[in-house]
Amino acid sequence: MPDHDSATRSENLRTGVSLWTRTPNSTVAAERTLPRQRFDVIVVGAGISGALVAEALTRDGKSVLIVDRRPPVRGSTPASTAMILHEIDVPLVRLRRKIGDAKANAAWRRSARSVDHLIALTERLGIDCGMERKPALYLAGDEMGVRALKAEAAARAEIGIDAAYLDRAALGERFDLDRPAAILSSMSASANPAQLAAGLLKAALARKARLVSPVDISDMAELPGGVALATRDGAVLTAEHVVFSTGYEFLPQMESAAHSVVSTWALASKPLRRLPAWLKETLVWEASDPYLYFRADAAGRIIVGGEDEASEDSNSDPDKIGKKAKAIAGKFKALTGFDLGKPAYAWGAPFGITRDGLPIIDRVPGHERVFAIMGFGGNGITFSTIAAEIVSAAIAGRRDPDADLFAYR
Ligand SMILES: Cc1cc2nc3c(=O)[nH]c(=O)nc-3n(C[C@H](O)[C@H](O)[C@H](O)COP(=O)(O)OP(=O)(O)OC[C@H]3O[C@@H](n4cnc5c(N)ncnc54)[C@H](O)[C@@H]3O)c2cc1C
C-alpha cells in the first residue's frame, strides 16, 4: 500500500518468525548518522538486492552509500526460503509463447549463468552462508503433466540447459515420490539468504561503501548531473546515480499491470534425523498453482513453503500462520510421507510475481540516473544477481546484452 510520507510503498514484510533472523551473522552494523560526503551511487534498500548491487558497484570502484529504513537485512530477504533456482517460474516453452523464442531462451540461459556467478562470487569473497550447489526437481502438477514436462525438458536441453526428463518409475526409484513425471536439473543452489546478504554488505563496506540505518527516503528529484534524495527526517542526499532496491516496497512510479504482490507462507521444521539423502540434497517444487516447494538446510531442517493467496496483505494476519503451516505440512506429508512435527518457525510474507515470471530491472520511467530493481518471483535471489550485473554495467557505461529482457513493462 502507498505510504504518503515515503517515496516507496509500505508493507508488512514478515509476520511470524523466520529461522534466518535467528542465525548468527544475519545482519551487519549500520551507522546512524548520514555522512556529509557526496557518493557516486546511493543504494536504497539493504536486503539481498541492495547488497548485491553495492558489492558489484564497489567492485567497479564506485563509492556507495547504502540506506535502509529498517535495520540491514530485515526486510523480505530473511523471509526467503532461499532456493537459488536457475528455473524461472514461467516454463521455457510457455515463456517462448509469451515473448518469443529468442528472448525466452536468453532469459533462461541468463538465469542459469547467474546462479553460477553467485556461487563463484560467494566463494571468492569467502562468505560463510551455507551456499551449496544442489539439483532441482520440478514435479508434474495440475499445471503441467507428462506431455508438457517432456516438451519442457526437450526445450531446455536444446538451449544447453541441463534437464533430464524422469517418468513415474524413474522418479519413484530415485526420489521415492509418486508423480507422473519430473524434470531433474543440476544447476541450482541454496544458502542462508540473510548471511549471504550480510556477507555481501560486509564486502562492500570493506571497499568504498557506507551503510546508514534507519533512513527513510521520502522523495527524489533528478538534477543535471545527479540525483537528490530527501529523507523523512529532512536531510538531502545527492549522488550521481540512485538504485532503488526496495523489494516489494517499490516506487509508485514502477506500478504496472505486469506485476502484483500476493501473500505466501513458509515454515522450517526442527532438525530431523534419518532424512533420506535425496531430501537433504534436492530443491523440489512443482508445476502447480500455487506450488509447494521445499528443501533441507545443513542441520536437517525441512524448509517448505506455499499456500499463496491473491491478496496483498492476508500474510500479515498472525492468526493465519498456524493454519497455513498446517496445510503446508499436510501437503508435504501427502507427497513425501514425512511428518514434519510441530514447526520450529513459521511465517507469512508478501511475495511479488510478474506475468512473464521475469524481474523488472530498469531506469525509473522519466529518469536517466535512477534505477529500480524488482527481482520478483520464486527465484528472486537469482534475479537480484542479474539485476546487480545489469545495473552496475549501466552505471559504469557498459551495455549488458540482456538488459532489454527485463525492461519496465
Ligand atoms: C516466503 C518467501 C519465500 C521465498 N523463497 C524464495 C526462494 O526460495 N528463492 C528465491 O530466490 N527467492 C525467494 N523469495 C523471494 C526473495 O525473498 C525476494 O526476492 C527477496 O527477499 C527480495 O529482496 P530485496 O533485497 O529486493 O528486498 P528486501 O529484502 O525487502 O529489501 C528491501 C529493503 O528496502 C527497504 N526500503 C524500502 N523502501 C525504503 C525507503 N523508502 N527508504 C529506505 N529503505 C527502504 C526496506 O526496509 C527493505 O529492508 C521468497 C520470498 C518469500 C516472501
Task: Give the domain CATH number at 398.
Answer: 3.50.50.60
Whether residue 377 has pLDDT greater than 90:
no
Confidence of residue 2 (pLDDT cuts 50, 70, 90): low
Domain boundary among the residues 354, 381, 396 is at 354
Determine the distance separating the centroid of ligand 1 and the alpha carbon of 72, expressed in angstroms. 11
**Count of alpha carbons within 13 Å of 235, Cβ hemisphere only?**
15
Task: Tell which residue, 146, 142, 152, 195, has the closest CA to residue 171.
Answer: 146
Both 328 and 267 in one domain: the answer is: yes
pLDDT at 376 over 90: no
Atom of ligand 1 nearest to the CA of 375: 19
User: What per-residue confidence (pLDDT) applies to 397?
Assistant: 96
Ligand 1: residue whose CA is nearest its atom 27: 247
Give the pLDDT band of residue 82 (cuts 50, 70, 90).
very high
For the chain, the three-class secondary structure string (H helix, E strand, C coil) is CCCCCCCCCCCCCCEECCHHHHCCCCCCCCECCCCCCCEEEEEECCCHHHHHHHHHHHHCCCCEEEECCCCCCCCCHHHCCCEECCCCCCCHHHHHHHHCHHHHHHHHHHHHHHHHHHHHHHHHHCCCCCCEEEEEEEECCCCCCHHHHHHHHHHHHHCCCCCEEEEHHHHHHHHCCCCCEEEEEEEEEECCHHHHHHHHHHHHHCCCEEEECCCCEEEEEEECCEEEEEECCCCEEEEEEEEECCCCCCCHHHCCCCEEEEEEEEEECCCCCCCCHHHHHCEEEECCCCCCEEEECCCCCEEEEEEEECCCCHHHCHHHHHHHHHHHHHHHHHHHCCCCCCCCEEEEEEEEEECCCCCEEEECCCCCCEEEEECCCCCHHHHHHHHHHHHHHHHCCCCCCCHHHHCCC
Q: How many domains are contained in the chain?
A: 2
d(Cα 359, Cα 374) in Å, to the nearest integer?
Answer: 6
Nearest ligand 1 atom to alpha carbon 216:
42
Shared domain for 269 and 337, answered yes or no, is yes
User: Are 395 and 275 found together in one domain?
Assistant: no
Q: Is residue 241 part of a domain?
A: yes
Question: Does residue 364 sit in the same domain as residue 281?
Answer: no
- Domain match, 363 and 242 both: yes
Q: Are residues 335 and 368 in the same domain?
A: no
Q: Is the CB of 349 under 6 A from ligand 1?
A: yes
pLDDT for res 240:
98
Residue from 68, 201, 237, 293 to probe ligand 1 pocket by mutation (most atoms less than 8 Å from CB): 68
**Distance between alpha carbon 343 and the CA centroid of its chain, in Å?**
23
Picking from 393, 36, 41, the residue whose alpha carbon sits closest to that of residue 245 is 41
Average pLDDT over the chain, rounded to whole? 96
Question: Which ligand 1 atom is nearest residue 51's CA?
Answer: 25
Q: In this structure, are 72 and 203 located in the same domain?
A: yes
CATH number of the domain at 263, please: 3.30.70
- Mean pLDDT along residues 69-92: 97
Ligand 1 midpoint to CA 30 (Å): 18
Between the CA of residue 253 and those of 353, 364, 409, what are the distances in Å?
A: 17, 7, 12
End-of-domain residue from the set 331, 354, 377: 354
Task: Specify the pLDDT at position 11.
Answer: 86
CA dihedral 12, 15, 18, 22 (to 10 degrees): 80
Those residues whose C-beta lies under 8 Å from the C-beta of residue 233, and which sit 6 or more positions away, are 215, 216
Does residue 99 lie within any of the structural domains? no
Supply the pLDDT for residue 4. Answer: 66
pLDDT, residue 3, reads 67
| Chain center to CA of 400 | 21
Give the distance (Å) from ligand 1 centre to CA of residue 247. Answer: 5
CA neighbor of 229 nearest in space, from 13, 12, 69, 352:
69
| Ligand 1 contact via 213 beta carbon (within 6 Å) | no
Asked, for residue 150, whether it belongs to a domain, the answer is no
Decide: 54 in ligand 1 pocket, CB within 6 A.
no
Within a domain: 62? yes
Q: What nine digits make up the cell of 12?
A: 508488512
Residue 384 lies in a domain: yes
Closest CA to 14 of 252, 265, 193: 265
Band (pLDDT 50/70/90 cuts) for residue 249 is: very high
What is the span of the domain harbouring residue 398? 15-79+194-256+357-406
CA of 377 to the centre of ligand 1 (A): 11
> pLDDT tens digit string along 180-192?
999 999 999 999 9
Whether residue 252 sits in one domain with residue 263: no
pLDDT at 266 over 80: yes
Taking residues 163-178, report their average pLDDT.
Answer: 97
Are 288 and 273 part of one and the same domain? yes
Q: Is residue 166 part of a domain?
A: no
Residue 110 lies in a domain: no
| Residue 324 included in any domain | yes
Beta carbons of 226 and 240 less than 8 angstroms apart: yes
Question: Which pLDDT belongs to residue 1?
Answer: 65
Whether residues 266 and 230 fall in one domain = no
Within this chain, do residues 219 and 290 fall inside the same structural domain, yes or no? no
**For 17, what's the count of Cα atoms within 13 Å in the CB-facing half-sphere?**
8
Return the pLDDT at 274: 87
Q: Which amino acid is at 314?
A: S
Residues 340 and 206 in one domain: no
According to DSSP, the residues that pair with 363 across neighbouring strands are 371
Q: Is 236 exposed, middle or buried (0-12, 13-18, 19+ CB in 10 A)?
A: exposed
For residue 375, name the pLDDT band (cuts at 50, 70, 90).
confident
Boundary-marking domain end, from 354, 372, 387: 354
Cα angle for residues 263, 94, 172 (degrees, 5° grid): 80
Q: Does the reported pTM lie above 0.95?
A: yes
